[in-house]
Amino acid sequence: MTTIQLTVNGRAAEASIEPRTHLADALRDQLDLTGTHLGCEHGVCGACTLLLDGAPARSCITLAVACDGATVTTIEGLDEDEIAAELRDAFTREHALQCGYCTPGMIMSARDLVLRLDHADEQAIRVGLSGNLCRCTGYAGIVRAISAVIAARRQRGITAVTGAGRTSLGPVGSQPGAIAIAVSPARPAATDIKPPRGAALASLAPPEVMPARNFDASFTVKAAPAQVFALFGQPKTLAACFPGATVTDIPAPDRVEGEIRVAIGPLSAAFRGSARIDRNAADLSGRLIGTGRDQRSRTSTSGQIAWRMVPIDDGRATRVDLAIGYSLSGPLAQIARDGLVRDLASRLTTTFAQNCEQHLNGTAGLAETTEPQRLNALALLLDVARQRLTGLVQRLRGP
């Protein structure tokens, strides 16, 4: 048996358990906190969701011994919580529960959404609830209830909390004390962002954006790193260098709103959304985190791009290392195969680099005053397919 120390719902607790005991079993069997329900016991249904060090976690697949010293909040610990109270009222008003078995875990996930979503976006709420299954309601009432709470709080001037209070990345509960429990409007300063080159850059994705796919890319620009970094601080110019992109508004120094227009044969899509830009002048690095949605196809996307400027050729040129992560859901997601996305990204990166270099070298007009280039995905796909076919033929021919 192993003895662990926990802080459960604001009180110190001790439990003697076998190393194989899951957190949900320890809470239910030893601490009599039966509000945490067990369903699938595979981390799929979400009924066992609770807050571990302030972040939602599946307690049915979390070993209790791994949580020694952590802070745990179960549904019983939210009796006096303001957001949980508003959610309970909204769930009742919108008939968002029937048998109620999924409700404790649903409230936990809903509370996290209320904290971190800027506005009541139905698609974002549905994505955020995708890990909580309900066999009764059909989710419509649940989505309405969460939307109503978010809208009401934003109207009262209560802003979203970036990351819902998290201040570090990594598996929930893996760094006791590192993840903030108290809700704070502050977010990590740009000077905390120091992305290394390569795959480690992808780990910079904030908790509110967890990409389903990640890959690296890089390009070279014949300009000094400081010049390229300065360009990356001009959203309108930068967007005009990217085919199909345009910035429609800059509500804050680190916030932009805009759209990317894509043409796929006779089909077209306009992904409208917003993004946050963090920059670190100390090591010429930064990241962009954003979400977008095409209303016509009801396709949504979210992702992040982390970058770092690396001097080459004695500082006369710059290699820009990128880590790109994205998620795509909806009808258009069926064409987003990994191989094609990587090839398309490679071609777009090349075009983007050429446009940036032309702007920096003064061989093009001010990019922000020009019309955005149209992104013709079909032409790029055909070009990629042609290159792949050529490569296949060459391999078949042999040496």
pLDDT digits (tens, 9 = 90+) for 38-65: 999 999 999 999 999 888 999 999 999 9
End-of-domain residue from the set 148, 171, 187: 187
176 and 264 both lie in a single domain: no
175 and 247 both lie in a single domain: no
pLDDT of residue 207: 41
| Confidence (pTM) | 0.46
Residue 44 φ/ψ, nearest 5 degrees = -105, -45
DSSP string, 45-58: S-TTEEEETTEEEE
pLDDT of residue 237: 87
CATH number, position 163: 3.10.20.30
Of 315 and 347, the structure prediction assigns the larger pLDDT to 315
- Mean of pLDDT values over 375-397: 59
Whether residue 205 is predicted with pLDDT greater than 60 in this model: the reply is no
Whether residue 182 is predicted with pLDDT greater than 50 in this model: the reply is no
pLDDT of residue 133: 95
Q: Which residues contact 127 (CB under 8 A, 6 or more apart)?
A: 300, 329
194 and 182 both lie in a single domain: no
215 and 251 both lie in a single domain: yes
116 and 252 both lie in a single domain: no
Total structural domains in the chain?
2
End-of-domain residue from the set 156, 187, 218: 187
pLDDT of residue 335: 58
pLDDT in tens, 270-310: 888 888 899 999 999 998 888 888 887 777 787 888 899 99
256 and 175 both lie in a single domain: no
Q: With both helix axes pointing from N to C terminus, report the angle between 140-155 and 103-116 in degrees, rounded to the nearest 10.
A: 30
Q: With both helix axes pointing from N to C terminus, report the angle between 103-116 and 82-93 in degrees, rounded to the nearest 10.
A: 120
With CA atoms as reference, report the closest residue to 228 among 171, 312, 303, 169.
Answer: 312
341 and 289 both lie in a single domain: yes
pLDDT of residue 336: 57
Whether residue 395 is predicted with pLDDT greater than 80 in this model: the reply is no
With CA atoms as reference, report the closest residue to 209 among 310, 312, 106, 291.
Answer: 291
Whether residue 371 is predicted with pLDDT greater than 80 in this model: the reply is no
Report whether 4 contacts 14 (CB < 8 A): yes
178 and 205 both lie in a single domain: no
What's the CA gap between 163 and 210, in Å, rounded? 11
Whether residue 27 is predicted with pLDDT greater than 90 in this model: the reply is yes
pLDDT of residue 367: 40
Mean pLDDT of the chain: 79
pLDDT of residue 343: 65
144 and 247 both lie in a single domain: no
Of 163 and 168, the structure prediction assigns the larger pLDDT to 163
| Structure token digits, residue 284 | 């010429």
Of 119 and 174, the structure prediction assigns the larger pLDDT to 119
180 and 200 both lie in a single domain: no
Q: How confident is the model at residue 165 (pLDDT cuts 50, 70, 90)?
A: low
Whether residue 197 is predicted with pLDDT greater than 70 in this model: the reply is no
End-of-domain residue from the set 187, 213, 242: 187
pLDDT in tens, 318-369: 999 988 887 777 666 655 555 656 666 777 788 888 888 888 887 654 444 3
**Domain residue limits at 51:** 1-187
Of 127 and 177, the structure prediction assigns the larger pLDDT to 127
CATH number, position 340: 3.30.530.20
Cβ count within 10 A of residue 295: 10
DSSP state of 135: S
pLDDT in tens, 133-142: 999 988 999 9
208 and 311 both lie in a single domain: yes
What's the CA gap between 135 and 98, in Å, rounded? 9
248 and 309 both lie in a single domain: yes
